[in-house]
Amino acid sequence: MTLAYIGLGSNLSDPEAQIHQAIVNIKSIPNSHITQISSLYFSRPMGPQDQPDYMNAVLALDTQFSALELLDHLQTIENNAGRVRKENRWGARILDLDILLFGDKTINTERLIVPHYGMKAREFVLIPLAEIAETLLLPDGDSVSTLAKNIATNDLKIHSQLNSMR
């Protein structure tokens, strides 16, 4: 089993319901088990500000799949939710599921970059990740909790607890 951390985000079509359904769908991935789920957070959008605020969370998933097999499962969940991939990288979206970390591996392929390339600059990733993995070190040795303590919060706010959904 490999412990992966997955970032969840949505800002369209009832984002809270989208996140809840995504968690239900992730729970149904075979040979995998959710071990932790952060609180649900409100965050301002990255990029264009003419879109609704996001809801974000992070979960920990023990899985027997490879990183690319897990990515396939997550993209199927996104597609089934109605995700449309657009050229605008930071545009509004129904559901966004990102593999943030996959064990202690560093992966750099055309389809997947792990650790997630922008995670150190994103409060909506670091703060929920530190909530569920306070002592976690990134593959480069950086402490998630130290990064989370030092990042600007950009008005990130806790919306609700999700850990009961494990």
Map residue 61 onto helix, strand or coil.
strand
The two tokens of residue 5 are 């951390």
89 catalytically annotated: no
Catalytic residue, chosen from 93, 104, 142, 166, is: 93
Catalytic residue, chosen from 62, 72, 83, 85, is: 83
96 catalytically annotated: yes
How many Å separate Cα 107 from the centre of its chain?
17
53 catalytically annotated: no
Q: 160 forms bridges with which residues in the sheet?
A: 40
Catalytic residue, chosen from 96, 111, 142, 155, is: 96
98 catalytically annotated: yes
Catalytic residue, chosen from 50, 53, 85, 98, is: 98
Report how far residue 67's alpha carbon sits from residue 84's, in angstroms, rounded to the nearest whole number. 22
Active-site residue numbers?
83, 93, 96, 98
